[in-house]
Amino acid sequence: MKRNFLISSILALAATSFAHANEAADSIATDTVVEVLNPNKIIITERADGGMSVEVQGSGKNRKFRYNYSTKQQKAQSDSIDELRIPFLPSLSGKKSGHNKPHAEWFTSFGMHYGFTHMSGAGSISDMGNSVELGVLYPVSMSVVFPQSWRITTGVGFGWKNYRLNSDRRFVKTDEGMLDIAGYAPDTYSHLSRLKIFYLDVPLMLRKDFGNVAISAGAVIDFNVYGSMLTRYRQNEKEIKIAEKGINQNKVTVDLMAGVQLYDIGLYVKYNPGNVLKSGNLPEFRSLSVGFCLGL
């Protein structure tokens, strides 16, 4: 575009000079900016901002004549295609932010994660791999984006954690309404006993991009709004199912979370240093999750 403008400017000025020298032009066009007879020098400059400047020095015998004209670079229509952004997964759009100052972006992240959960501190009553976690960290989010590919993201998300015991132990509720651990009767089989906690979360994550690789770390505040217990087994060819609501989980906990991603797909680790259940309930355990993430 710049070359076409340069060539057009030279041809236009040369044609004007040639026409006046041969007295072949009868009148000046209605869009003529200035009429220059026999210019002594024409200087065309490309500016740093992408625009062009034209300077005419001298007009015939008038050596002191000067005329300057400049134009701004126009944005190509195709540039708008590059600004297409995909909500929740911005890096999949193929365009990085061109801002050189901190700015806010809404709905820029997703944070889906699935992992295996360990009842840390509970001993051998549960093995990692029996328990799982599934969550969406921040489907509603806001990011503050800084230069050098740094960003801080917060929002509101949700998920659930499923804590399952080994087949020789089960959760029970005491007469006082407290949670405890017990064994199964010898004539039972097909054992399953688990706790499920549903939570809403408010994360605060710091992320740094290194090309197609990104690392993130931060804290996630969990509001554990619902908990339930389920124990199921068979006895004398009869299935017995015991379900309880209200498992005395701590209503607010904090997870420490970190992850690494390649093209928005990666691995994460999450650890809750506090007890999952309120004091007086058994077992006393903390939560450790390791798994896969998307758009963290």
The verdict on 117 and 212 lying in the same domain is: yes
Specify the number of domains making up the chain: 2
pLDDT value at 290 more than 50: yes
- pLDDT of residue 7 exceeding 70, the answer is no
Q: Specify if 76 maps to a domain.
A: no
Do 256 and 221 form a contact (C-beta atoms < 8 A)? no
In a domain, 177, yes or no: yes
Position 266 in a domain = yes
Whether the predicted pLDDT of 247 surpasses 90: yes
Residues 244 and 283 in one domain: yes
Please report whether residue 157 resides in a domain. yes
For 231, the token pair is 């124990």
Assess if residue 103 is contained within a domain: yes
Residue-level pLDDT at 132: 95
pLDDT at 31: 60
Confidence of residue 191 (pLDDT cuts 50, 70, 90): very high
Using alpha carbons, select from 236, 248, 275 the residue that is nearest to residue 171.
248
**Are 91 and 167 in a shared domain?**
yes
Same domain for 143 and 270, yes or no, is yes
259 or 140, greater pLDDT = 259
pLDDT of residue 25: 40
Whether residue 188 contacts residue 235, with contact meaning beta carbons closer than 8 Å, is answered with: yes
Q: Which domain holds residue 16?
A: 2-71
Whether residues 58 and 94 share a domain: the answer is no
Q: What is the pLDDT of residue 82?
A: 42
Please choose, from the candidates 70, 73, 71, the residue with its C-alpha nearest in 3D space to the C-alpha of residue 56.
70
DSSP 251: S
Among residues 272, 269, 262, the alpha carbon closest in space to that of 91 is found at 262
Out of 40, 71, 102, a domain closes at 71
Looking at the structure, tell me whether residues 54 and 172 fall in a common domain. no
Q: Are residues 160 and 226 in the same domain?
A: yes
Is there a single domain that holds both residue 96 and residue 44?
A: no
The per-residue b/e assignment along 7-45, b for 16 or more CB within 10 angstroms, e otherwise, is eebeeebeebbeebeeeeeeeeeeeeeeebeebeebeee
Same domain? 126 vs 228: yes
Residue 77 falls within a domain, yes or no? no
Q: What is the largest distance, in Å, between two alpha-carbon atoms of the chain?
A: 119
Q: Which among 197, 269, 266 has a CA at the least distance from the CA of 229?
A: 197
Please indicate whether residue 170 or residue 49 has the higher confidence score (pLDDT).
Answer: 170
Domain match, 162 and 88 both: yes
Domain finish residue from 17, 40, 71: 71
Quote the pLDDT of residue 225.
96
Query: Has residue 78 been placed in a domain?
Result: no
Do 191 and 102 fall within a single domain?
A: yes
pTM: 0.64
* Distant-in-sequence, close-in-space partners of 14: CB < 8 Å, separation ≥ 6: none
Same domain, yes or no: 33 and 100: no
SS3 97: coil
Of 16, 38, 71, the residue at which a domain comes to its end is: 71
